[in-house]
């Protein structure tokens, strides 16, 4: 079946600031990629839950949970590596926007996982955009100037 995502500039609005190549190389990588990024996840969602949901789009090669670089605990995102491009496109098309652990998750094409990309880049250790987030899981409190997240007792 022909790809539904023919124009690489339209398949993701996200641009990784740490991608070292040109915009054209970034677009090519996105177009060929068999990796997706999943965002807006609950901090409590497990790798097993991710596997259960995302294997509906196709066979998974690997899951890499995104971790807070300070606490080394899940911080709301992950990467999923599929074997086939078609399954990758189905994952973005059908799973993005579904609810996992009460949160609508966002599935995005990714240019490809590299060691180090699993760590949150935010000042607090988690994801950058969590420092701007307003919708938290009910048992998480936001304290401090840079989105320091703590769990309620
Ligand atoms: N494929 O959408 C994505 C995506 N995101 C959001 C993160 N990653 C993604 N990959 C894909 N699609 O490997 C990947 C990153 C990295 C890992 C953790 O997840 O490539 P991060 O989320 O901690 O850091 O990454 P990143 O990617 O630098 O964050 P972001 O949100 O794009 O922020 C970029 C800039 O925009 C920053 O300067 C930030 O201060 C600013 N910003 C972000 N959100 C807001 C906001 N709501 N308001 C104002 N400024 C904001």
Q: Identify any residues that bridge with 74 across adjacent strands, giving them in sequence order.
A: 67
Q: Is 67 helix (H, G, I), strand (E, B) or coil?
A: strand
Q: Report the largest interatomic distance among the alpha carbons of the chain, rounded to a whole angstrom.
A: 52
Distance 1 CA to ligand 1 centre (A): 32
Please give all residues whose beta carbon lies within 6 A of any atom in ligand 1, as ranges.
14, 16-17, 37, 39, 66, 77, 108, 110, 117, 120-122, 127-129, 132
ipTM over 0.90: no
Cα(106)–Cα(104) distance, integer angstroms: 7
For ligand 1, atom 49, the nearest C-alpha belongs to 132
Walk along the chain (153 residues) and give the pLDDT tens digit of each residue. 555 566 656 689 999 999 999 999 999 999 999 999 999 999 999 999 999 999 999 999 999 999 999 999 999 999 999 999 999 999 999 999 999 999 999 999 999 999 999 999 999 999 998 888 777 666 655 444 344 444 443
At a CB cut-off of 8 Å and minimum separation 6, what does 52 contact? none
Q: What tokens appear for 50 in the block?
A: 């991710």
Phi and psi at residue 60, in whole multiples of 5°? -100, 135
- Site of tokens 């190389």: 25
């Amino acid at each position: 079946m022909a790809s539904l995502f023919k124009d690489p500039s339209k398949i993701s609005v996200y641009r990784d600031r740490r991608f070292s190549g040109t915009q054209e190389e970034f677009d090519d990588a996105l177009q060929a990629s068999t990796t997706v990024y999943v965002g807006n996840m609950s901090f409590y969602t497990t790798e097993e839950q991710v596997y259960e949901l995302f294997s509906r789009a196709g066979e998974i090669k690997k899951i890499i949970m995104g971790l807070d670089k300070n606490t080394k605990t899940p911080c709301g995102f992950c990467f999923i590596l599929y074997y086939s491009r078609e399954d990758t496109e189905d994952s973005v098309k059908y799973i993005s926007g579904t609810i996992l652990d009460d949160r609508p998750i966002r599935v995005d094409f990714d240019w490809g996982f590299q060691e180090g990309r699993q760590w949150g880049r935010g000042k607090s250790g988690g994801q950058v955009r969590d420092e701007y987030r307003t919708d938290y899981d009910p048992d998480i409190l936001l304290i401090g100037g840079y989105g320091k997240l703590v769990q309620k007792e």
